[in-house]
Amino acid sequence: MMDGRLNRFPRYATSQTVTRPNAEKPRQFKGFKTYDDRGTDRFVDPCPLETGHKITMAMDAPDRMISISSDDSELQLYDGRMLAQNGWFVLRSELPKGKIGKVITWIVEPNAIPGWIREPNIGFSQIGYVPNQPKVAVIELDKQDKPQATASLMRIKEDGNAEEAFKGDIKTWGNYFKYNYVKFDFSSVNKPGIYYIQYGNTKTNNFLIDERVYDKITDATTDVWVPIHMNHMYVTEGYRTWHGEPFKEGYLQAPPSDHFDLHRQGETTDTKYKPLELIPGLNVGGFFDAGDFDIETGSNINVVQNFIRAWELFKPQRDETFVSQQQRYVELHRPDGVPDILQFIEHGTLNLIAQAEQIGHMASTLSNSVLDNYHHLGDAASITDGLHYDPSLKPYEVSADGKRSGTPDDMWAFTTRNPSLDFQAATMFAAASRALTGYNDDLAARALTQSKRLRQEATELMKKRPQRPRPYERFNNGDLSTNLQLFAATKEKQYRDSYEKAIWAALDSNVSFTMQIALDAVPYMDEAYKKKLRPYVVKFNDYIKGFDKENPYGVPIGLGNWAGVNAVLSFGITVNYANIYYPEIVSKDEVYRVANWLYGCHPYHNYSFVAVVGATRPKQVFYGNNRADFSFIPGNVAPGLLFRKPDHFENFDDWPFLWGQNEGTIAGNTQYIIFGSSLKGVMGK
Ligand SMILES: [Ca+2]
Ligand SMILES: [Ca+2]
Ligand SMILES: [Ca+2]
């Protein structure tokens, strides 16, 4: 209600706009434009939904009611979705010109409900539990709430009625940021069945206790999410085309540019190409970065490595995807006789090898040239016009032969040379050559050639710049990992010696950070190595158990600006590997920590963070390239709980546009495949 006039917030953007000359538009980020004005030189300006001096919203809902008033300024309510699907409702007053001191006054009155107590959030795994695993629900309570003495586990019988299968005491864990946490341990129940938890008046949705609950945890990700993110391919599923073949016109050499999305091209190109010259052969293979469509080279390197790790240790033979590089065609749910993971390794390698061969080193990224393409939502094939950019034509003009246009929409390759990225690529190419041998021998040989060349050249470049910090050593153990991969690929002793020379010192300085690489080496090393690693694994086991005291959920919870799923998954993978190689030190009970967290046992809500995984209640919305539909791409993994200072965790399920809590990335989702594969590997033992 605004000044007594009643209205409803519109379900969809349907209010009015006008256009104005671009000259009246405030300057946008670095002078870029978020819109394509189609040559009109005018921008779109939405009209307010309402104006007035007092607005009261949601007076029918005491928990959401809020009133805002201003006597000395006009309140203007806008629908931000008129300009962008991620727009919010905006209430604003324009500041008067030339006034200082107290300029305008707003009175904001949120409604308060005396004695309000939040409903308990009962955290449990929406996947369910295998019979012999620990089963502990973590119940998040308002600090004003009085904990119940007991909770019950209810079993749904075949006749549809429920019976109490177990009644147990509630144990207090204590306060963690905003809430009080108690636990309900029902590990003793191991009879397969359909269950729910009854805590006071709160009843959860149902879940399974069954031997096979983990069997399908990676299928949505490998069968659906990953193939949909294959770049430079037409991707189809049943009646639906997910996207046509993107970027047919290829990639231009980026000119010197301080760009967006953290991309930058230095003063020189570091290549044989002139600015805006076509670099041949880059429009092949590779995976979309995340909710956007660029190829982040660092992420794509991780992706190939993730697939290789899953392949080498677990050899998943699953074949549900048809991939034809020749036809540039992918079809979901159509087997073609080749394990999908091998095809994904090949697809990732094809783009990265093209970069190494055509550019001579790794590009930092292949990305949009104009900002109004970057926010594209919809079919990736329609981001650019598919025609080569020809500056001699006018914008939107097409050449007579239909092959060129004057629209400067071709993607750019950012090619500033970064030896640490070349090092990472060298590591990945070594592993790729091993994985692809016997499947695509030509690509395997090319990968090994590039691995050796890039490693050599990067080493020399590093030597020439001794004054610079070497981020690859500090952040990703690049040298250790490269040496290990090269040893695994070539069996040459020099690589093994270099690896062994460095690994123990790295473990001494940081056991949790280095443990994954140390475990990755186990299959390639001897018994003496495995024995020497033992005491470090004991230390790592203490590190795992330490999380029980740090927070109620027993996993490393990130408090940064991007919710911490990658750190949680890394932790889970290392725990799984530690159990696989050292089951007598790291017990099987530890491997469920991360699974519980991912599938629903976490703060804020109890929905599974993996789209469609967790039969009863996965999250409804994710930040993917279909986010404008308030939807998701199956198999996506949300970053999870975003921490907001001073004490708030959140993960919106009715608003997909907050990337920090809802965006799945290609590196993160393929990391999830390793997590899931290794967890299934543990189960199969
Ligand atoms: Ca990106
Ligand atoms: Ca296949
Ligand atoms: Ca074009």
Instruction: Split the chain (685 residues) into runs of 10 and give each run's mean pLDDT.
Output: 96 96 93 92 97 97 97 97 94 95 96 96 97 97 98 97 98 98 98 98 97 96 98 98 98 92 88 96 97 96 95 94 98 98 98 98 96 93 96 95 96 95 92 96 97 93 69 55 84 92 95 95 95 98 97 93 86 97 97 97 97 89 95 95 93 92 94 95 83
Ligand nearest to the CA of 227: 2
Q: Is 278 helix (H, G, I), strand (E, B) or coil?
A: strand
CA distances from 201 to 40, 61, 119, 148 (A): 61, 22, 10, 10
CA 250–ligand 3 middle distance (angstroms): 8
What integer pLDDT is reported at residue 582 of this predicted model? 98
pTM: 0.95
- Ligand 1 centre and the CA of 269: distance in Å? 21
Tell me the H-state helices in 465-492: 471-475, 478-490
Distance 54 CA to ligand 1 centre (A): 42
| Tokens coding 533 | 């690693």
Task: Give the closest ligand to the alpha carbon of residue 337.
Answer: 2
- Ligand positioned closest to the Cα atom of 366: 1
Q: How far is ligand 1, taken at its centre, from the CA of residue 293, in Å?
A: 7
Cα 279 to averaged position of ligand 3 atoms, centre (Å): 14
**Distance in Å, CA 280 to ligand 3 centroid:** 14
What distance in angstroms lies between residue 260's CA and the mean position of ligand 1's atoms?
A: 10
Q: Which ligand is nearest to the CA of 297?
A: 1
Distance CA 322, CA 325 (A): 10
Q: How far is the CA of 411 from the centre of ligand 1 (A)?
A: 13
* Distance (Å) from CA 632 to ligand 3 centroid: 29
Helix ranges restricted to H, 562-635: 565-581, 592-598
Q: What is the pLDDT of residue 478?
A: 63
Q: List the end-to-end C-alpha distance of the chain, in Å, as a whole number.
A: 63
| Residue 95 CB coordination number (10 Å) | 10
Is the domain spanning 121-209 CATH 2.60.40.10? The answer is: yes
How many Å lie between the centroid of ligand 3 and the Cα of residue 410? 4
Compute the distance from residue 326 Cα to the ligand 2 centre, in Å: 14
Q: How many angstroms separate the alpha carbon of residue 380 from the centre of ligand 3?
A: 13
Tell me the CA–centroid distance for residue 489 and ligand 2, in Å: 25
Q: Which of these, 83, 96, 76, lies nearest to 43 by C-alpha position?
A: 83
| Spans of all domains in the chain | 17-110, 121-209, 219-417
Characterize 475-488 residue by residue with b for buried, 16 or more Cβ atoms within 10 angstroms of its Cβ, and e for exposed. Answer: ebbbbbbbbbbbbb
- DSSP H helical segments within 375-477, as ranges? 419-436, 441-464, 471-475
Q: Is the peptide bond before 634 cis (omega within 30 degrees of 0)?
A: no
CB 219 within 8 Å of CB 235: no
Distance 323 CA to ligand 2 centre (A): 6
